[in-house]
Amino acid sequence: MSSAIFISGISLIAIFAYSLSSDKTQFANQMHLSIHSQPPGFSCKVLIIPSVKSEGNISFFFGDRNISEEIPIKEIHWHNKGFTFKRHGNATNYFEEKLFNQFPPGTTRKEVEAKYLKEKYFILGTDKYGRDLLSRLIIGSRISISIGFIAVIISLLIGVFLGSLAGFFGGRIDQLIMWIINVVWSIPTLLMVIAITLALGRGFWQVFVAVGLTMWVEVARLVRGLVKSTKEELFVQAAITLGFSKLRLLLNHILPMLVAPLIVISTANFASAILMESGLSFLGIGAQPPIPSWGGMVKDHFRYLLLGKPYLAILPGFAIMSLVLAFMMLGNSIRDALDVRG
């Protein structure tokens, strides 16, 4: 029960990621190199320089295409025509100047303080590029949830189709499909995913398809065995005697009996897909920057394990572990509740 609540919570966070993130730019990719690798709880004043161009918002689901410049500042001094400021991380006494006429017409000091000067908080600190770590973690949850969902759908479509054909018809069809299954089964999964990813091209959707195309084998083997055994049941033999068509037998009488085992294996495949995507992102052939991925975040910061800031790699790693563990526990709970024999 707790695992289902946790997964539901992560799914809701993934859906409303930009509403929950403090960095609402697309992919939470607002960089502040002058405040990189800051510890949790860090805060500073940020000066927002509006852009002349305006690309507007994409949507709450994809974030804002922010083209305004954000400058972390340490000091600010006002005068009649504008103000001078010192950038955060600047060890010298150099101050830059901005005039009010560089802002929208009619801008005064009060409007600058209200609209363009903000106190920004970084609850989990910043990464090595000065981006908000918490926002990156929140938006990165979309990759993990999406890869699991799409990979499971692809594996079910292919696995159920081929497994049903092999188990129901038998003979040469069964031999051919089992030969294909054995060939695919003999190839290391990670190696096959890498090969498919390189063939399709590195990218967001290519990874989803590649992972899904390597997970159908287990589903096909399970469905084949269950269809072969279910086909011998008395109610199926009675339906055959009554002259039901093969398609009706398969769709209406045999496949509904496989729902429980398929749910169990789908939860396991969901967890495997998350781990696989994280591994691919760590190797640099998963979701490509600036798209946030938990595996990619571990890759970017694993050196910090020895540089005094291990949380930069531990937090995304812990997120991966927690979500995978939740799906495995959910699968075990469903198996016990539905009395599925492993």
- CA-nearest of 181, 183, 215, 211 to 195 is 211
More confident residue, 116 or 240: 116
What was the pLDDT predicted at 249? Answer: 83
Q: Which residues contact 193 (CB under 8 A, 6 or more apart)?
A: 210, 211, 214, 276, 280
C-alpha distances (whole Å) from 25 to each of 68, 70, 296, 300 are 10, 12, 19, 20
Distance CA 70, CA 162 (A): 54
301-337: pLDDT as tens digits? 999 988 889 999 999 999 999 999 999 999 888 888 8
118-143: pLDDT as tens digits? 999 999 999 999 999 999 999 999 98
pLDDT at 7 over 80: yes
Distance CA 168, CA 341 (A): 21
Q: Are the CB atoms for 189 and 247 separated by under 8 Å?
A: no
pLDDT at 61 over 80: no
Give percent of the chain with pLDDT exceeding 70.
Answer: 95
Q: Where are the domains of the chain?
A: 42-122, 133-338
From the candidate CATH numbers 3.40.50.1820, 3.60.20.10, 3.90.180.10, 1.10.3720.10, the one assigned to the domain spanning 133-338? 1.10.3720.10
What was the pLDDT predicted at 54? Answer: 47
Distance CA 112, CA 116 (A): 5
Q: Are strands 42-49 and 63-64 parallel, antiparallel or unpaired?
A: unpaired
161-199: pLDDT as tens digits? 999 999 988 889 999 999 999 998 888 877 888 888 778
* Paired tokens of 221: 């083997």
